[in-house]
Amino acid sequence: MGFGTNCRLICALAVLLACSAQFTYAQRAFPFIFPEERTIRVRDPSELRPAPIPNTPPPPTVSNLEDLVPRHFTLDEAIRSALANSEVVRVLNGVSASSTGQTIYDVAIQNTGIDAARAAFDPTVQANNSFNRIDRPSNSNGTAIIGNRGDNYNFDFDLSKKTVTGGTLNLGVNATPSKQAQDPFILQNPTFLNPRTSSSAEMSITQPLLQGAGRAANLAPIVLARIETERSYFQLKSSVQALVRSVIEGYWGVVFARTDVWARRQQEKQSKGALDLAEARLRAGLVDLADVAQARLAYHNFRASLITAEASLLQREAAMLNVLGFPPYETDQLVPVTPPQTERVTPEWSELLQLAQERRPDLIELKLILEADEQRLVQAQNQALPKVDGVALYRWNGLEGELPVGTKLTSGPGEFTDWTLAVNFSVPLGLRQSRANLRQQELVISRDLANLDQGVHAASHIIAGNLRNLAQFYEQYEAYRAARDAAEINLRAQYAEYRNGRTILLNLLQGITDWGNAVSAEAQALLQYNTELANLEQQTGTILETHGVRFYEERFTAIGPLGRLGHGRSYPGTTTPDLNFDRYPAGERPSEEVFELETPEFPSRRRVLPTMEPLPAP
């Protein structure tokens, strides 16, 4: 090819490059070139993957309350249902529930990091094969331009492995057969081997002596991966603890709401009776219209309070269904039948602190963070050392081929060898960056030690608050129980007095209000006490153990290191909480019956009311 031909090729290439600068034209000429993104393309939401939705009727409201078939539901069953539906862990937030962001898959996902860290020590195999033809023009004969074509094949094989001490072992094999086809000058050389095959096999080791050396520094990534898996496990455990506590809180919340609805319904009935009595007394001319108006006002206010209580019950039931993983509508009405605990519990302060120090997941996570910091400190100390590597290499060389006269030559095994012993040294003067990293890691450990101390300090104050709450709620329960008895006596007396015309209507209405509020307050105090017992177990980190909840690894078959050529291996797929043990008594009546719910005007069975005794002198 002459000079003119080369010029034409260069000009064509320049034109092609100029055209490629304009993407519009380049895309027409070369469809495989993607255009620039000059617009924002957003798909219609209907084109996205659909998500399953529950196929249930509309949820009940205060305007369309239905008479559902009651189904007794114990607290143990509630916890069991929540654990069975804990693929995504939910917790109670007031009268609603939300996801914690933790799932049963997180620990298994984090666990794969251990194998990823171990991969640094897996052997690596590399094999390169290349077939080459080289045909360059030359004037080796001095009279004309002729070709100098050569064909060769190159094979490189390398097997390397990193050791736990930081060294690298290497085994390499190379073979390069080649043949010159045309050059007469070379072909007529009596000492030239054609074809010829050169080969070599070598073994080498490179061992760091300072930086990068040692088991601790090289195994630190695996230890860190294990620590991260443990952290993920205890984060999941913390979420499941909050789930169990939320179920208990939601369960007692439903019991309180049912009790409150009963009390407000009785208030409505009582106020309706007072209204009927006032209207009868008006017809008899014993009172004026103001009494009737006042009675009617009180009746509608009590009716509004009942609607509010019914709405609160629906909200608490919905929150309970949400935490349990149930749809918003259930064909059966879940009726709590586990009675709340009415006995006082007196925990041991020192034992609570010891349990919290050992069992609280957040404190355990702080301890794991410190362990991870110590591993990173080992790495930082190692990186702050000079780099000194010892190198040893031994190579066996071979050559074989054929002379122009047809004689074949072959080197003997082990006849030609190379070896190398070396020590390589390098260090940044001052080691400024690595020493800064080391100093930073030492400060990080000091900071995380302070965080651990603060965590224990905060936990002790939280537990102290739990104990104060337990005492407060129980004392309030006893006080409200006595207040309810007094309110019941007062209501009966006020009803009789008003019916006989010896008191005003306002006293009767106030008695109705006081009695209903006392019933509600007694239930609220006792159920807050039971909820606080669960809070105390959560704050000490023992709520799962006391309910018999354990975690187990759900296994699944996945492709292992050998890929599809190997057998499927079982790996953790999830870390699932198992079902809880029965802990609470399963009553045969609704839980609110523990408060002996009876209507003072028309009791189904009369309670023995305490006699009114004078209060002790202060």
- How does residue 33 score in pLDDT terms, banded at 50, 70 and 90? low
Take residue 11 and report the two structure tokens written for it: 């000009």
Q: Looking at the structure, do residues 339 and 481 belong to the same domain, yes or no?
A: yes
Take residue 401 and report the two structure tokens written for it: 């081929």
Of 40-44, 51-55, 101-105, least confident by mean pLDDT is 51-55
Report whether pLDDT(599) > 90: no
Q: How far apart are CA 21 and CA 16, in angstroms?
A: 9
Report whether pLDDT(362) > 50: yes
Q: What is the pLDDT of residue 30?
A: 52
In a domain, 464, yes or no: yes
Q: Compute φ and ψ for 287, nearest 5 degrees.
A: -130, 170
Q: Looking at the structure, do residues 301 and 272 belong to the same domain, yes or no?
A: yes
- How does residue 240 score in pLDDT terms, banded at 50, 70 and 90? very high
What does the CA dihedral 204, 210, 211, 213 come to, rounded to 10 degrees? 60
Q: Looking at the structure, do residues 453 and 311 belong to the same domain, yes or no?
A: yes
Q: What is the pLDDT of residue 615?
A: 44
Q: Looking at the structure, do residues 174 and 210 belong to the same domain, yes or no?
A: yes
Count of residues in the chain = 618
Q: What is the pLDDT of residue 612?
A: 44
Nearest alpha-carbon partner for 298 in 271, 279, 276, 270: 271
- How does residue 606 score in pLDDT terms, banded at 50, 70 and 90? very low
145: left (phi over 0), alpha (psi -120 to 50) or beta: beta
In a domain, 47, yes or no: no
Report yes or no: 360 and 539 within 8 Å, Cβ to Cβ: yes
Q: What is the pLDDT of residue 211?
A: 93
- Per-residue pLDDT tens digits for 120-155: 999 999 999 999 988 877 776 666 777 778 888 999
In a domain, 576, yes or no: yes
Q: Looking at the structure, do residues 419 and 560 belong to the same domain, yes or no?
A: no
Report whether pLDDT(21) > 80: no
Report yes or no: 205 and 168 within 8 Å, Cβ to Cβ: yes
Report whether pLDDT(227) > 70: yes
Report whether pLDDT(11) > 60: no
In a domain, 56, yes or no: no
- Per-residue pLDDT tens digits for 365-406: 999 999 999 999 999 999 999 999 999 999 999 989 888 777
Report yes or no: 563 and 539 within 8 Å, Cβ to Cβ: no
In a domain, 87, yes or no: no
Q: Looking at the structure, do residues 249 and 398 belong to the same domain, yes or no?
A: no
Q: What is the pLDDT of residue 427?
A: 92
Q: How far apart are CA 415 and CA 438, in angstroms?
A: 51
Q: Mark out the alpha helices in 401-504 (DSSP H runs).
A: 432-499
Distances (CA, A) of 465 to 147, 347, 461, 468: 95, 13, 6, 5
Q: Looking at the structure, do residues 418 and 451 belong to the same domain, yes or no?
A: no
Q: What is the pLDDT of residue 23?
A: 46
Q: Looking at the structure, do residues 304 and 359 belong to the same domain, yes or no?
A: yes
**What percent of the chain clears pLDDT 70, i.e. is strictly above it?**
89
Q: What is the pLDDT of residue 136?
A: 78
Residue type at 127? A
In a domain, 358, yes or no: yes
- Of 8-17, 327-336, 348-357, where does the model show the most confidence? 348-357
Q: Looking at the structure, do residues 576 and 474 belong to the same domain, yes or no?
A: yes
- Per-residue pLDDT tens digits for 122-131: 999 999 999 9
Q: How far apart are CA 311 and CA 305, in angstroms?
A: 10
- How does residue 605 score in pLDDT terms, banded at 50, 70 and 90? very low
Q: 166 is in which domain, residue-wise?
A: 143-214+389-426
In a domain, 342, yes or no: yes
Q: Looking at the structure, do residues 399 and 535 belong to the same domain, yes or no?
A: no
- Per-residue pLDDT tens digits for 186-217: 556 666 777 888 999 999 999 999 999 999 99
- Which residues are bridge partners to 552 per DSSP? 576
In a domain, 610, yes or no: no
Q: What is the pLDDT of residue 478?
A: 96
- Per-residue pLDDT tens digits for 540-578: 999 999 999 999 999 888 887 777 777 778 889 999 998
Q: What is the pLDDT of residue 230?
A: 96
Q: Looking at the structure, do residues 406 and 543 belong to the same domain, yes or no?
A: no
- Per-residue pLDDT tens digits for 264-282: 999 999 999 889 988 988 8
Of 11-25, 222-236, 465-479, least confident by mean pLDDT is 11-25
- How does residue 516 score in pLDDT terms, banded at 50, 70 and 90? very high
Mean pLDDT of the chain: 87
- How does residue 513 score in pLDDT terms, banded at 50, 70 and 90? very high
Q: Looking at the structure, do residues 300 and 270 belong to the same domain, yes or no?
A: yes
Of 304-318, 348-362, 553-567, least confident by mean pLDDT is 553-567
Q: How far apart are CA 363 and CA 383, in angstroms?
A: 30
CATH of the domain at 457: 1.20.1600.10
- How does residue 499 score in pLDDT terms, banded at 50, 70 and 90? confident
Q: How many domains does the chain have?
A: 2
